Chains A and B, each alone.
Chain A
Amino acid sequence: MKPIYYNLNDLFKTLTLFDGMGISFHHHLRNGDAITNLITTEFHHRNLKKLRLFPSAIFPSYHGILTLLKADQVDTITTNYLNGPVADYFAKHGKPNSLKMQTHGGRARAFIEGENKVDIAFVTAPTVDREGRASGAQGKSACGSLGYAIEDVHYASTVVLITDNLVDALDHYQIDGTTVDAILVVESLGDARGIVSGTTSITNDPVGVKIARNATNLIQELGLIKPGFSFQSGAGGISLRVTESIKTLLRDKNITASFFSGGITKYHVDMLEEGLVKTLYDVQCFDLDAIKSIDKNPQHKAISANDYANPNNPHRIIKDLDIVILGATEIDLDFNVNVTTDSYNTIIGGSGGHSDTATDAFVSFIVTPLMKARTPIIKERVNTITTLGKHIDCLITERGIAINPRRHDLLEQLKDSHLDIVSIETLMARAHHYTGSPQKTQPKKQPIGVVEDRDGTIIDTLYTKE
């Protein structure tokens, strides 16, 4: 039996709180999460200083973190993904060395290896039993997988589960309860409908459709669609369109894939239920269909960030990944990809699993329009490196495909291809033909933090905008 509290004050009386402490959160309820705000607001009222925050991601609704920043109560934030008002605050007022962007796999590694030192993990848990076992798959605030919270539960000094659905005993759980110290029961964890934030539907935009078609043709020509292959795609509209095309291919050729990994959507679930893929390894559910599936389909498995992508875990799932489809905000002539900032230093996202999967997958594909609102996506040099170019293999746009010259094997395979394969310099010139050549943008300003690759290497610096 774990201590159970029904009042935030009663819980906080039992916690050891001090300036400089580290606290962590996970983001599985995404923009619908109410708990990160509840807890950070409490830290604000208690006037704790120099806090080290370890949210796995920060979404626009996380105003409690913004309040702490404005009140100068934060020393550092270590996260995997960041957008909205907190990101805008960093772009304007970020202090030196106050932000570290990690990858999903890198965050798990840093917890396990003691680099992310967390005093209290506050874990939003949709269903909890009296032994501190927890599942994300059930409850009125179900979010599916709790993948990014598992290392927090195992490695934080103190672990508090927060739930709005306390049950006597759970048979199937994602958190085993052994390291849980306390349970807080609240009325509501938030609004699970807020999980579906961002683009989780297939694009019908003609440019997106053409990119997806080019990508599917390339994947086919590379002979990657074969029995037992594995695949991961993000939740972007183009990536999902590629996923749908692959579904049709699998049906037509009577092929079954071994697994899909990463963030899971309705489109992945449909393929599991149709028998086109054997297993889904789910580290985060991107929509409500995925959440329902994880509760009912035994082959839809919730996995931890460690099992998903920790580079020092020899059994990580993505080590066996054949294909990954990813996006880019910018890509440069060395194939470095930026999904962390725009071209003017505003933070708009972060790696998530971008660098993890690009590094491990046998072939990594970037799908993106050649230009977005006049801005050419190919730069001489990206503003911020999220994923090193040596891990990026193919760039697919609506006006041509470029293969990283490091991949002699792929180029050899494609030497007689009828696809429009050109150098990345040629693709950039094609973009400039329409947009004109961009003027040089403003110089970098005050450094505020770093981008850390999954193994702990610092690969770039983040700056303020003004």
Chain B
Amino acid sequence: MKPIVVGSLESSDCLITLTPSKTTTITIESIVYDAFGDAIEQVIKQTLKHHGLHDVHVYVQDKGALDYAIEARLTSAIKRYRSEADES
């Protein structure tokens, strides 16, 4: 299965890449990591939990997206990930 890529590297947005993984792993690169790294990790964990997804690697390249933007991008990525997984 190909990685699922959602979002952009524009300011105030983020680019999220999902790839299959045995367990949930999260990698965050953010221009605001020092100030908001924990908050970004938390919104990702909550969103994964909400969708009951436990077998992906989440790679976030963040350009200062607000929490609801990250949540929306990740939700979209999860939906595409599931539909791709169903097809393959």
Residue of A343, A375, A436, A439 touching B67 (CB-CB under 8 A): A436
Nearest-Cβ distance from residue A375 to partner chain B, whole angstroms: 6
Residues of chain B having any CB pair with chain A under 8 Å: 11-12, 31-32, 34-39, 63-67
Q: Are A344 and B12 in contact (CB under 8 A)?
A: no
Decide: B12 and A373 in contact? CB cutoff 8 A.
yes
Q: A374-B66, A375-B64 are in contact. Are A439 and B12 (CB under 8 A)?
A: no
List residues of A (424-452) whose CB comes within 8 Å of B's CBs. Answer: 434-436, 438-439, 441-442
Q: For residue A372, which residues in chain B have a CB less than 8 angstroms away from its CB?
A: 11, 64
Q: Mind listing 12 A-B residue pairs with CB under 8 Å?
A: A344-B34, A372-B11, A373-B11, A373-B32, A374-B12, A374-B36, A436-B36, A436-B39, A436-B67, A439-B37, A441-B35, A442-B34
Q: How large is the interface on A (under 10, 10 to 19, 20 to 34, 35 or more residues)?
A: 10 to 19
State whether B36 touches A438 (Cβ < 8 A).
Answer: yes
**Do the beta carbons of A374 and B32 come within 8 Å of each other?**
yes
* Distance between Cα atoms of A135 and B38 in the complex (Å): 56
Neighbouring A residues of B64 by C-beta, 8 Å: 372-375
- Beyond A373-B12, A374-B36, A434-B66, 12 additional contacts (C-beta under 8 Å) are A343-B35, A344-B34, A373-B31, A373-B32, A374-B35, A375-B32, A435-B66, A436-B36, A436-B67, A438-B36, A439-B36, A439-B37
Q: What is the chain B residue whose CB lies nearest that of A376? A: B35
Whether B34 lies near A435 (C-beta < 8 A) is: no
A374: B residues at CB distance < 8 A = 12, 32, 35-36, 64-66
B35 touches A439 (CB 8 A): yes
**Residues on A with beta carbons closer than 8 Å to the beta carbon of B12:** 373-374
- Chain B residues with CB under 8 A of A375: 32, 35, 64
Interfacial chain A residues near B37, Cβ < 8 Å: 439
Cα A438 to Cα B31 in complex, Å, equals 13
Q: How far is the CB of A401 from chain B (nearest CB, A)?
A: 22
Is A441 in contact with B63, judged by CB distance below 8 angstroms? no
> Considering the chains assembled together, what is the distance between the CA atoms of A436 and B35 in angstroms?
10
What residues of B have a CB within 8 angstroms of the CB of A436 in the complex? 36, 39, 67
Cα distance A438–B65 in the bound complex, in angstroms: 14
A-chain residues with CB within 8 Å of residue B63 when the two chains form the complex: 373
Q: Which residue of A lies closest to B12 (CB)?
A: A373
- Given the complex, which residues of A lie within 8 Å of B38, measured CB to CB? 439
State how many angstroms separate the Cβ of B46 from the closest Cβ of chain A.
13
Q: How far is the CA of A373 from the CA of B32 in the complex (A)?
A: 8
Which partner residue on chain B sits nearest A343 by CB separation?
A: B35
In A305-354, which residues have CB < 8 Å from any B CB? 343-344
Q: Measured between alpha carbons, how far is A460 from B84 in the docked complex, in Å?
A: 56
CB proximity to B under 8 Å, residues A373-424? 373-375
